[in-house]
């Protein structure tokens, strides 16, 4: 009896240590479901601190729906917000919506968060394979460019208003067309500081747009030789799952890189149905 208790305690400590090695969650998932029951809104801030001490932040007000988890994989977990997957799914949903980090990094954070939540390594790898092969993908530079293009007219308008406000205060209330309410409690020093902040933001935004446009122009330049891009078809999910589970059962668990390298049937090699690089 005592031996059984000791074994159970040691197993519990080992599991806890393994989970801690994969990072930790900050806060709890507190959310309110929408009327349609398909989305929920976070009522409190929540975060995941991964093993490299990188924080994945899900701010209060974020709307999540589990869409970043392919439905083909729901058969494994029952649903994106059920059981131990809930915390990892929320982090993954928000990061896929923000798109401020590369897709592969986001998917790997999802894997780490599952382990931190107590999901078995094999199941976590199956879910990682699902989001890597069937989940959302994006280009961070392109997403940054889109945000910059959207914010450019807003920043320009705000800077114009601030410049007029500064002029008004410099002229000691001269008629510059600024509504009186826009100047209440405003000092010239505060107005200049705000104007300079907007100038910096506008400069960075324009530089981001220019950098991306120049990069696209280089890629479209016919005089620059480029290697042909090979598009590999994704594997069938059922086969992906079986391969990961079989490797684990055989004592040779696949690495994340190997899971990423699994591919489906190739048109140029119809017999290459399911292979690793």
Segment 156-178, tens digit of pLDDT: 999 988 888 888 777 765 555 55
Structure tokens at 164: 């007029």
Q: Which residue has the tokens 């399911």?
A: 274
Mean pLDDT of 175-200: 73
User: Residue 275: its pLDDT value, please?
Assistant: 44
- Taking the C-alpha atoms of residue 27 and residue 82, their distance in angstroms, rounded to an integer, is 18
Q: If pLDDT is split at 50, 70 and 90, which confidence band does 229 have? A: low
Q: Which residues contact 76 (CB under 8 A, 6 or more apart)?
A: 123, 126, 127, 130, 241
pLDDT of residue 170: 78
Task: Identify the residue whose tokens are 């699994």.
Answer: 262
- Which residue's structure tokens are 């009327």? 35
**Residue 13 predicted with pLDDT over 50:** no
State yes or no: pLDDT of 40 exceeds 80.
Answer: yes
Question: Two tokens at 28?
Answer: 């709890």
Closest C-alpha to 99, from 140, 66, 128, 69: 140
Mean pLDDT, to the nearest integer, of 121-134?
94
The reported pLDDT for the residue numbered 271 is: 36
Predicted confidence (pLDDT) at residue 6 exceeds the cutoff of 50 = no
* pLDDT given at position 263: 81
Task: List the alpha helices (DSSP H) in the chain.
Answer: 2-21, 74-77, 85-98, 103-116, 121-134, 140-170, 188-219, 237-249, 256-261
Q: Output b/e per residue, 142-164; b: 16+ Cβ within 10 A.
A: eebbeebeebeeebeebbeebeb
């Amino acid at each position: 009896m005592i031996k059984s208790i000791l074994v159970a305690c040691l197993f519990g400590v080992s599991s806890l240590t393994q989970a801690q090695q994969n990072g930790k969650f900050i806060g709890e998932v507190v959310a309110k479901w929408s009327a349609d029951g398909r989305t929920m809104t976070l009522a409190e801030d929540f975060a995941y601190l991964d093993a490299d001490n990188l924080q994945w932040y899900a701010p209060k007000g974020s709307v999540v729906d589990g869409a970043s988890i392919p439905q083909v994989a729901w058969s494994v977990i029952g649903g994106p917000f059920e059981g131990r997957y809930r915390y990892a799914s929320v982090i993954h949903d928000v990061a896929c919506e923000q798109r401020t980090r590369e897709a592969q990094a986001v998917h790997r954070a999802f894997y780490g968060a599952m382990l931190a939540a107590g999901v078995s390594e094999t199941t976590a790898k199956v879910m990682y394979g699902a989001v890597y092969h069937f989940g959302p993908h994006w280009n961070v530079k392109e997403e940054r460019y889109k945000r910059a293009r959207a914010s450019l007219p807003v920043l320009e308008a705000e800077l114009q208003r601030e410049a007029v406000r500064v002029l008004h205060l410099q002229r000691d209330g001269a008629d510059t067309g600024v509504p009186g309410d826009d100047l209440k409690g405003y000092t010239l020093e505060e107005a200049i500081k705000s104007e300079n902040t907007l100038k910096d933001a506008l400069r960075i935004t324009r530089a981001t747009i220019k950098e991306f446009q120049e990069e696209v122009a280089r890629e479209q330049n016919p005089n620059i030789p480029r290697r042909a891009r090979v598009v590999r078809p994704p594997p069938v999910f059922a086969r992906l799952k079986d391969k990961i589970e079989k490797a684990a059962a055989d004592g040779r668990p696949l690495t994340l890189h190997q899971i990423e390298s699994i591919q489906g049937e190739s048109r140029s090699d119809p017999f290459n149905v399911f292979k690793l690089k």
